[in-house]
Amino acid sequence: MGSVMYSTDAKNKLEDLSGIVLKPGENPYEAFIRACNNKPQEIQALYHAHRTKRNALQKEKFLSPDYKELVIDQCLLRLENPGMEPGFVDERNCLTVWARPPIHVIELAAQIQARLQQASPKIWLMPTHRMHLTTLEVAFSKTPPEIGSLVSTLRPAIPSIASYTHAHRSRLVKPMVSYDLSAFALSFLPASGENILSPAPVTPDVSSGAVIQGDDYTYHHLRQDIFDKVKDAGVEVGSRYQVPSAHITLGRYLTDEEHDTPGKREKWVKAIDDINSWLENEVWDQKDAQFIGEWIVGQEKGLDIRNGTLWYGHGRTVLLGEGF
């Protein structure tokens, strides 16, 4: 008899800590932008508030005398250990719009993964070729026919969605490791006046019309637009959450072994704190740094319209849009 499955979301919910209250049926990204007076500095401030509050809460959980255990992803555990439940299949089919990180962001993420693994060798790391930023989750945990029907409805709009970032360029900055009891990620903030650090677009960079860029068009504006394009195509967006977060998963825990004492948990938290100090002091806003801490969404690759069993970076691409 198979083990009882549970979602890490159910035990470790990704709460919206921004303070924005949504009305039923409204575009959640539009509501957020309106609450921030359409100002990039206010949008950045709420993204910052969300991730710092969340990290502080998670740090308390790791260091609390009442700590019990990590929230280990039981599906990933079985996929990584086939002998645990022979024949196990992940049946959670999804439809999403992903942004793929450019090479310089992947290099930074890989460096951080290596530092984290020094502190906890048995963590599971997301393969770099699977790394992604979920711009919009359209549907989750459906059957293949249900997802197929949604793709069919969305198909006429897919090319314009996939290549939308070619002429609508938002910028992400100030990477930081965010974490909880189930996973850890590299999170970014929408830009607000920081110096541009990314490599120039790959030539020839030809657009058929005007290119919208600059920090007034934030990553949250991009998410708002993609939400509307999907809805206008006749597909109801069924996201689990629309929190102010722009993150790529770095890895997950597969065992409590390396976090089962206060000393081990203190070591883990300190490792994350040290990495975040390094990022802030030696990567953020640094023109001549070894690593670039900025990401203009759509650079090198457009948006990746993706479906299938997408957890852990799997699934298949319906269409990958044009990069710049």
- Residue 11 domain-assigned (yes or no): no
Instruction: Decide if 315 is inside a domain.
Output: yes
Cβ-based neighbours of 100, under 8 Å, separated by 6 or more:
131, 132, 133, 300, 301, 304, 320
Q: Please report the pLDDT score of residue 6 as a whole number.
A: 43
**Is the model's pLDDT at 136 over the cut of 70?**
yes
**pLDDT tier for residue 7 given thresholds of 50, 70 and 90:** very low
Determine, yes or no, domain membership for 10.
no
Residue 7 in domain: no
Radius of gyration over every alpha carbon of the chain, rounded to an integer in angstroms = 20
pLDDT at 9: 47
265-281 pLDDT, tens digit each: 999 999 999 999 999 99
The answer to whether residue 8 is domain-embedded is no
Q: What is the pLDDT of residue 187?
A: 98
Arithmetic mean of pLDDT over the chain? 93
Instruction: Band the pLDDT of 243: cuts 50, 70, 90.
Output: confident
User: Range with the lowest mean pLDDT among 21-30, 128-137, 246-255?
Assistant: 21-30
The residue-averaged pLDDT of 174-201 equals 97
Q: Is the pLDDT of residue 98 over 60?
A: yes
Please tell me the total count of domains within the chain.
1
Instruction: Give dist(CA 19, CA 187) in Å, integer.
Output: 19
Tell whether the model's pLDDT for residue 10 goes beyond 50: no
Which structural domain, as residue segments, surrounds residue 175?
26-81+91-320
pTM: 0.92
Assess if residue 2 is contained within a domain. Answer: no
Q: Which of 250, 253, 233, 244 is nearest to 305 (CA)?
A: 233
The mean pLDDT value for 58-73 works out to: 97
Q: Is residue 37 part of a domain?
A: yes
In this structure, the number of other CB atoms found within 10 A of the CB of residue 235 comes to 19
| CA–CA distance, 309 with 316 (Å, rounded to integer) | 8
Q: How many Å apart are CA 226 and CA 63, to the nearest integer?
A: 39
Residue 213 located in a structural domain = yes
The predicted model gives 309-316 an average pLDDT of 96
Band (pLDDT 50/70/90 cuts) for residue 26 is confident
CATH number of the domain where residue 135 is located: 3.90.1140.10
State the pLDDT confidence band at 22, using cuts at 50, 70 and 90.
low
